[in-house]
Protein backbone atom coordinates (compact mmCIF):
# COMPACT_ATOMS: atom_id res chain seq x y z
CA UNK A 1 0.00 0.00 0.00
CA UNK A 2 1.52 3.37 -0.97
CA UNK A 3 2.43 5.78 1.77
CA UNK A 4 1.86 9.49 1.10
CA UNK A 5 4.73 11.87 1.72
CA UNK A 6 2.58 14.12 3.87
CA UNK A 7 -1.13 14.58 4.54
CA UNK A 8 -2.79 17.53 2.87
CA UNK A 9 -3.24 20.35 5.37
CA UNK A 10 -6.87 20.94 6.29
CA UNK A 11 -6.54 24.44 7.70
CA UNK A 12 -3.12 25.87 6.93
CA UNK A 13 -1.86 28.42 9.39
CA UNK A 14 -1.32 31.87 7.94
CA UNK A 15 2.19 32.19 6.53
CA UNK A 16 4.63 34.41 8.35
CA UNK A 17 8.16 34.51 6.94
CA UNK A 18 10.91 33.38 9.30
CA UNK A 19 12.97 36.15 10.84
CA UNK A 20 16.36 34.57 10.13
CA UNK A 21 15.61 33.57 6.50
CA UNK A 22 16.07 29.84 7.17
CA UNK A 23 15.24 27.53 4.28
CA UNK A 24 14.58 23.85 3.82
CA UNK A 25 14.20 21.58 0.81
CA UNK A 26 12.00 18.82 -0.57
CA UNK A 27 11.44 16.98 -3.83
CA UNK A 28 8.67 18.22 -6.16
CA UNK A 29 5.76 15.78 -6.34
CA UNK A 30 5.38 16.51 -10.06
CA UNK A 31 8.78 16.65 -11.77
CA UNK A 32 11.07 15.45 -8.92
CA UNK A 33 13.11 18.70 -8.93
CA UNK A 34 14.68 19.79 -5.67
CA UNK A 35 12.67 22.69 -4.22
CA UNK A 36 13.93 25.23 -1.71
CA UNK A 37 11.35 26.87 0.53
CA UNK A 38 11.32 29.11 3.61
CA UNK A 39 10.83 27.34 6.92
CA UNK A 40 7.22 27.73 7.97
CA UNK A 41 5.65 27.30 4.53
CA UNK A 42 2.84 24.72 4.30
CA UNK A 43 3.16 24.04 0.56
CA UNK A 44 5.52 24.85 -2.31
CA UNK A 45 4.69 25.59 -5.96
CA UNK A 46 7.30 24.28 -8.38
CA UNK A 47 8.62 26.87 -10.85
CA UNK A 48 9.33 24.13 -13.42
CA UNK A 49 6.03 22.19 -13.57
CA UNK A 50 3.69 24.30 -11.36
CA UNK A 51 2.84 21.28 -9.17
CA UNK A 52 2.00 22.14 -5.57
CA UNK A 53 3.79 19.93 -3.05
CA UNK A 54 2.68 19.81 0.59
CA UNK A 55 5.43 20.45 3.15
CA UNK A 56 5.73 17.82 5.91
CA UNK A 57 4.86 19.09 9.40
CA UNK A 58 7.76 20.55 11.42
CA UNK A 59 9.81 17.90 13.21
CA UNK A 60 8.95 15.17 10.69
CA UNK A 61 12.01 13.05 9.99
CA UNK A 62 12.48 12.31 6.30
CA UNK A 63 14.43 9.50 4.68
CA UNK A 64 15.49 8.73 1.11
CA UNK A 65 15.74 5.68 -1.10
CA UNK A 66 16.42 4.98 -4.76
CA UNK A 67 13.45 3.53 -6.67
CA UNK A 68 14.04 -0.04 -7.77
CA UNK A 69 12.11 0.55 -10.99
CA UNK A 70 13.47 3.80 -12.44
CA UNK A 71 16.32 4.71 -10.05
CA UNK A 72 14.74 8.04 -9.07
CA UNK A 73 15.63 9.41 -5.64
CA UNK A 74 12.53 9.24 -3.43
CA UNK A 75 11.93 11.05 -0.14
CA UNK A 76 9.49 9.68 2.40
CA UNK A 77 8.53 10.02 6.05
CA UNK A 78 10.90 7.92 8.17
CA UNK A 79 9.14 4.85 9.52
CA UNK A 80 7.04 4.18 6.41
CA UNK A 81 7.10 0.54 5.32
CA UNK A 82 6.66 1.20 1.59
CA UNK A 83 6.93 4.10 -0.83
CA UNK A 84 5.26 4.34 -4.25
CA UNK A 85 7.35 6.07 -6.91
CA UNK A 86 5.47 8.95 -8.55
CA UNK A 87 7.40 8.44 -11.80
CA UNK A 88 7.04 4.70 -12.54
CA UNK A 89 4.53 3.75 -9.77
CA UNK A 90 6.79 0.97 -8.42
CA UNK A 91 6.07 0.20 -4.77
CA UNK A 92 9.41 0.12 -2.95
CA UNK A 93 10.00 -1.45 0.46
CA UNK A 94 11.36 1.17 2.83
CA UNK A 95 13.42 -0.77 5.32
CA UNK A 96 15.59 0.83 7.95
CA UNK A 97 19.10 -0.55 8.44
CA UNK A 98 18.06 -2.45 11.57
CA UNK A 99 15.13 -4.12 9.79
CA UNK A 100 17.19 -6.23 7.40
CA UNK A 101 19.41 -9.24 7.93
CA UNK A 102 21.95 -11.14 5.86
CA UNK A 103 22.57 -14.82 5.19
CA UNK A 104 24.70 -16.73 2.69
CA UNK A 105 22.84 -18.76 0.08
CA UNK A 106 22.87 -22.45 0.99
CA UNK A 107 23.73 -23.39 -2.59
CA UNK A 108 26.05 -20.80 -4.17
CA UNK A 109 27.16 -18.96 -1.00
CA UNK A 110 26.02 -15.55 -2.39
CA UNK A 111 25.39 -13.02 0.40
CA UNK A 112 21.62 -12.45 0.56
CA UNK A 113 19.71 -9.65 2.26
CA UNK A 114 16.20 -10.23 3.61
CA UNK A 115 13.64 -8.58 5.82
CA UNK A 116 14.22 -9.39 9.47
CA UNK A 117 11.71 -12.00 10.62
CA UNK A 118 11.37 -13.76 7.26
CA UNK A 119 11.36 -17.58 7.33
CA UNK A 120 13.27 -18.02 4.07
CA UNK A 121 14.98 -16.11 1.29
CA UNK A 122 15.28 -17.05 -2.39
CA UNK A 123 18.60 -16.44 -4.12
CA UNK A 124 18.30 -14.29 -7.25
CA UNK A 125 21.36 -15.97 -8.75
CA UNK A 126 20.61 -19.69 -8.42
CA UNK A 127 16.95 -19.70 -7.21
CA UNK A 128 17.82 -21.75 -4.14
CA UNK A 129 15.62 -21.09 -1.10
CA UNK A 130 17.55 -20.83 2.15
CA UNK A 131 15.61 -21.12 5.40
CA UNK A 132 16.52 -18.58 8.04
CA UNK A 133 15.68 -18.18 11.70
CA UNK A 134 16.64 -19.65 15.04
CA UNK A 135 15.64 -23.24 14.30
CA UNK A 136 16.34 -23.24 10.57
CA UNK A 137 20.12 -22.98 10.34
CA UNK A 138 20.51 -26.22 8.39
CA UNK A 139 17.06 -26.74 6.83
CA UNK A 140 17.16 -25.82 3.15
CA UNK A 141 15.06 -26.77 0.18
CA UNK A 142 15.23 -26.31 -3.55
CA UNK A 143 12.09 -24.94 -5.23
CA UNK A 144 11.29 -25.63 -8.84
CA UNK A 145 11.11 -22.44 -10.87
> What pLDDT does residue 21 have?
61
What digits encode the pLDDT tens for the residues 76-98?
A: 888 888 888 888 988 888 766 55
> What pLDDT does residue 16 have?
47
* pTM for this entry: 0.43
Same-domain check for residues 63 and 89: yes
- 142 vs 70: which has the higher pLDDT: 70
Q: What is the dihedral of CA 78, 80, 84, 90, to 10 degrees?
A: 100
> In this structure, is residue 79 part of a structural domain?
yes
- 101 vs 4: which has the higher pLDDT: 101
Same-domain check for residues 93 and 106: no
Give the count of domains, the chain.
2
> What pLDDT does residue 56 have?
82
Contact 116, 132 (CB under 8 A): no
Same-domain check for residues 114 and 91: no
Backbone φ, ψ for residue 93 (5° rounding): -70, 135
Which helix (H) or strand (E) covers residue 43, if one does?
A: strand 43-45
- 82 contacts: CB under 8 Å, gap ≥ 6: 1, 2, 3, 91, 92, 93, 94
> In this structure, is residue 124 part of a structural domain?
yes
> Using alpha carbons only, how large is the chain's radius of gyration in Å?
21
> In this structure, is residue 70 part of a structural domain?
yes
> In this structure, is residue 16 part of a structural domain?
no
> In this structure, is residue 4 part of a structural domain?
no
> What pLDDT does residue 44 have?
92
Which of helix, strand or coil describes residue 91?
strand
> What pLDDT does residue 39 have?
81
Same-domain check for residues 63 and 93: yes
What digits encode the pLDDT tens for the residues 6-34?
A: 444 444 444 444 455 677 888 888 887 88
> In this structure, is residue 42 part of a structural domain?
no
> In this structure, is residue 12 part of a structural domain?
no
**Domain span holding position 125:** 101-131
> In this structure, is residue 126 part of a structural domain?
yes
Amino acid sequence: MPVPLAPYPTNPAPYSPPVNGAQSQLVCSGCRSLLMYPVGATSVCCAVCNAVTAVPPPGTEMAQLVCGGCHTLLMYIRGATSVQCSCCHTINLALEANQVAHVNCGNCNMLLMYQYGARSVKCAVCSFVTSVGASANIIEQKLST
